[in-house]
Amino acid sequence: MTQSPPVTTMISGQIDLIEEVIASFPQKGRILDIGTGSGEAARRFHEAGWEVTATGFNMEAYLDHSSLPEGMRVIPDVDVCDAHQFEDGEFDAIWCAHVLEHVSNTGLALEELRRLLKPNGWLFVAVPPYKEQVVGGHVNSGWNLGSLIYVLADAGFALAEGRFIHYGYNIFGMAQRGPGKLPDGALRRANGDIEALAEAGRFPKGFNPGQGFWGRKHAVNWRWNRAPQQVPAPRKELAHPPEIAPMKIGFFVPWITMGKGGTENVGQMMANAMVARGHEVTIFTFDDKSAPSRWPLDDRIALVHLPEATDVPADQRMAIEVASRNLDLLVGLHMNRTMLRYVRCAHKVGLPLILSEHIDPRFPSWMGTFSPDEREVAMAGATLIHLLLDDFVDTLDPSIRGKARVIQNTVPEPATLADHGAVKERRTLLAVSRLVPRKNQAVTVEAFARLAKDFPDWQLQIVGDGQLRSRLETLVTTLEIQDQVQFAGEHDDVYPFYAAADLFVIPSLFEGFPLTLCEAMAHGLPSVGLALCSGVREQIRDGESGILCENDDVATLEAALRQLMSDQDARARMGLAARQTFLDRFSNDVIHSAWEELFDEARHMRHVRKAPDHATLMAVRLWEQVWGPITKNNAI
């Protein structure tokens, strides 16, 4: 007879989750440990003062050397889909760890768990993360955080005060019993169901999902009340984090002495913010002329000029300069193959490296400045990867997505906000943009041309410069709207334009996280943009802080602009909402703290980087001898 394989009695990270529940619910009560496994949860809850009922199938195979405490209520072989042994509302809480993956009818199981809970009772549930392997007994191949949240909301649990985390081998959540499922007909088991649940307030506070939302999140509303011991947790997840010790941070900001692009802007903001928080900062840039920074830098920041060349001697010089600074970590900002130089340098000097990408990741590939293969190699060499949007995480290979941390950008707090109650002879539709094709400003001009006669007291003001300026000026003349259109050119300080404006327009086709839109929101301006642009869609809440156009044509943009240009009350209401969104999500304090926590997390992640073993090296060399250089497309 074939001997059965041993059962799994302990799961990575589970003890910390048990202790977190105990720390978070000091009031205790009656708890059901369903699928008790090794008995670890039952024992710990019992020792903490909970009244525990333990149950499970084949319990003698799972219980380890320590038996369950004397006097604990134990009921074997309870079916999670039909727990008729228990009364309605019998328990204050249920611990259900790694049970649902064994259940064919998840909805029925969750309905039964709700029945067993008191009206304000809590479900503590853990399921395994998705995996490719098929495992005996697991009829559900796995979960991610988003799918667990969705399934619980659909089953009728209350998630508003819930907390969720992917920790160790656990997709874990805490949710209250809730009001039950939505009325019959409210959900169609099709597109629109997620939005219906969101409208009914069934998702966690601050969590705003929509169709196709990113499910592989690390945490939602999670804070550790008891610092975990089994798996290191980022400082930002601790309810009572220790102070961050001073760091020595090196930033690669490639052209801070030559240009005023978005990457350089973010680089100087990061550097200045970290110095203001007590850290020692060095900026490395590439400039043979050793020019000063074109962005204002704190006097305490050291600016190191590296050669513009990209050859071996230049890389050696870079490594020597970095090594001489005795840094704790490196942060490399860019969006092209320069990132590979950062990786080579970090590996040679043995420092943690954060690669910080500040654009839609697809754009460099389209432009031919950074192929997907090159990007993948660079990102694989990073300690952590800083991306701007959840949508961009999916552009990474699954093997490195765990390194990704999503943090948006911020902009300086304005001294003067837009005044929607001011009496003006002329109102202003504002566009702040480089005049290049992907910014799509010709659509703005054509849409405004259709509006100009109906709104003679409005002007279109375009702030910025670029290769398309003369073409746009010609278009304005052709459309005979030159009296209502002003090309203001490039300015070092664009904030006065926002403060004087009434409405902001950003018709970009793709952006990482447009700082101009963030600046408009900081000033309290409502905005109109395109829903197809990820970076715009991240910032504008359609109908709340502005309007997202579903199509990128002139007629759609015209209609959206007309709606707000003709309604001062709507502009004022949306402007207030835009300002509040900035304060809540993108303010200096929020983003600077997130950056600092990211740097601190990487600082503690010093990995030993080992060369591939001989067998791996020979296999690669043989493959390339036969088939040519290995790429993602021909690798196994």
Only one residue has tokens 């939005």, namely 195
Summarize pLDDT for 311-327 with one digit per residue, the tens.
999 999 999 999 999 99
pLDDT band for 338, please (50, 70, 90 cuts): confident
Rounded distance between C-alpha atoms, residue 335 and residue 420, angstroms? 38
Model pLDDT, residue 613: 80
Q: Give the closest residue to 43 by CA, choosing from 24, 71, 83, 84.
A: 71
Model pLDDT, residue 64: 52
What mean pLDDT do residues 189-205 have?
Answer: 93
Name 450's Cβ contacts closer than 8 Å, sequence gap at least 6.
554, 558
Q: What's the angle, vertex CA 73, arms to CA 67 and CA 77, rounded to 5?
A: 85
Task: Say which range, 275-284, 329-338, 485-494, has the weakest mean pLDDT.
Answer: 329-338
Summarize pLDDT for 393-452 with one digit per residue, the tens.
988 888 888 899 999 999 999 999 999 989 999 999 999 999 999 899 999 999 999 999
Q: Give how far Cα 198 sits from Cα of 47, 52, 96, 158, 602, Å.
A: 39, 34, 25, 12, 35
CB-count burial class (<10 Å; 0-12, 13-18, 19+) for 536:
buried
Model pLDDT, residue 608: 55
Model pLDDT, residue 65: 47
Q: Give the closest residue to 387 by CA, choosing from 427, 428, 359.
A: 359
pLDDT band for 607, please (50, 70, 90 cuts): low
Q: Give how far Cα 165 sits from Cα of 178, 217, 599, Å.
A: 20, 8, 21
pLDDT band for 279, please (50, 70, 90 cuts): very high
Rounded distance between C-alpha atoms, residue 404 and residue 393, angstroms? 7
Q: What does pTM read for this prediction?
A: 0.73
Bridge pairing between strands 546-549 and 527-530? parallel
* CATH domain 427-586 topology: Rossmann fold (3.40.50)
Q: Give the closest residue to 424 by CA, choosing from 459, 451, 461.
A: 459
Task: Say which range, 27-36, 85-94, 590-599, 607-616, has the weakest mean pLDDT.
Answer: 607-616
Q: Give how far Cα 49 sits from Cα of 19, 22, 29, 346, Å.
A: 13, 9, 8, 50
Task: Say which range, 175-184, 229-238, 566-575, 596-605, has the weakest mean pLDDT.
Answer: 229-238
Q: Give the closest residue to 407 by CA, choosing from 576, 601, 242, 256.
A: 601
Rounded distance between C-alpha atoms, residue 593 and residue 571, angstroms? 31
Summarize pLDDT for 16-61 with one digit per residue, the tens.
999 999 999 999 999 999 988 888 999 999 999 999 999 987 766 5
Residue 377 region by backbone torsions, left for phi larger than 0, else alpha for psi between -120 and 50, else beta: alpha
Q: In CATH, what is the architecture of 14-237?
A: 3-Layer(aba) Sandwich (3.40)
Rounded distance between C-alpha atoms, residue 42 and residue 50, angstroms? 9
Residue 3 pLDDT > 70: no
Rounded distance between C-alpha atoms, residue 304 and residue 254, angstroms? 11
CATH of 248-410, one of 1.10.10.10, 2.40.10.220, 3.40.50.1000, 3.40.50.2000: 3.40.50.2000
What mean pLDDT do residues 530-555 have?
Answer: 94
CB-count burial class (<10 Å; 0-12, 13-18, 19+) for 345:
buried
Summarize pLDDT for 347-375 with one digit per residue, the tens.
999 999 999 998 877 777 666 667 777 88
Q: Give how far Cα 618 sits from Cα of 377, 613, 625, Å.
A: 20, 9, 10
Q: In the chain, what are the domain boundaries?
A: 14-237, 248-410, 427-586
Diameter over CA atoms, the chain: 92
**What's the CA dihedral at 441, 443, 448, 451 to 10 degrees?**
-170
Single-letter amino acid, residue 337: R
pLDDT band for 1, please (50, 70, 90 cuts): very low
The strand order across the sheet containing 248-252 reads 302-306, 280-286, 248-252, 329-334, 353-357, 384-387, 404-406
What mean pLDDT do residues 571-591 have?
Answer: 96
DSSP class of residue 140 equals S
Residue 5 pLDDT > 80: no
Give the residue ranges of DSSP H helices in 350-455.
362-367, 372-380, 390-393, 441-451
Kindly state the percentage of the chain with pLDDT values over 70.
94
DSSP class of residue 398 equals G
